[in-house]
């Protein structure tokens, strides 16, 4: 089956690094995504990684993919209060338009 799992909540202090983890089950996943949702808003695409990559870095964001363990993580360096939001992990299944989303991890940044 297709399933994406994330922890529900993460709390970090401003200036520290945040690491949000995600596991998925579909070995045929082609793309994996991280989205950010601020209160009352739609989902904003942060970054994505192709399944043949191990790592992708974009400014303060680092995505790590362990395809063997089906584990994806998002590291936010120097976390700011503006990073407080819900972060969704998502996987796109090969040859199909369907994307499965995790339940979302709520990141709380403490000043």
Partner 1 sequence: SQTIHQWPATLVQPVGSPLSLECTVEGTSNPNLYWYRQAAGRGLQLLFYSVGIGQISSEVPQNLSASRPQDRQFILSSKKLLLSDSGFYLCAWSDRVVETQYFGPGTRLLVL
List residues binding partner 1 (CB under 8 A). Answer: 31, 33, 35, 40-45, 48, 86, 88, 90, 92, 97-99, 101-104
> Smaller CB distance to partner 1: residue 27 or 44?
44
> Smaller CB distance to partner 1: residue 76 or 104?
104
Report the candidate in 77, 85, 84, 91 with the shortest Cα–Cα distance to residue 104.
Answer: 85
d(C-alpha 14, C-alpha 28), whole Å? 37
Least Å distance, CB 38 to partner 1, is 11
Residues 6+ apart with CB under 8 A from 85: 36, 37, 38, 39, 106, 107
> Smaller CB distance to partner 1: residue 21 or 48?
48
């Amino acid at each position: 089956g297709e399933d994406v799992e994330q922890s529900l909540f993460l709390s970090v202090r401003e200036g520290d690094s945040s690491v949000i983890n995600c596991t998925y089950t579909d070995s045929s996943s082609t793309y994996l995504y991280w989205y950010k949702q601020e209160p009352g808003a739609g989902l904003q695409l942060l970054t994505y990684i192709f399944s043949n990559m191990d790592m992708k870095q974009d400014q303060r964001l680092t995505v790590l993919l362990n395809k063997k363990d089906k584990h994806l993580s998002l590291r936010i360096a120097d976390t700011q209060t503006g990073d407080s939001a819900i972060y969704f992990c998502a996987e796109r299944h090969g040859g199909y338009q369907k994307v499965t989303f995790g339940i979302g991890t709520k990141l709380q940044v403490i000043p």
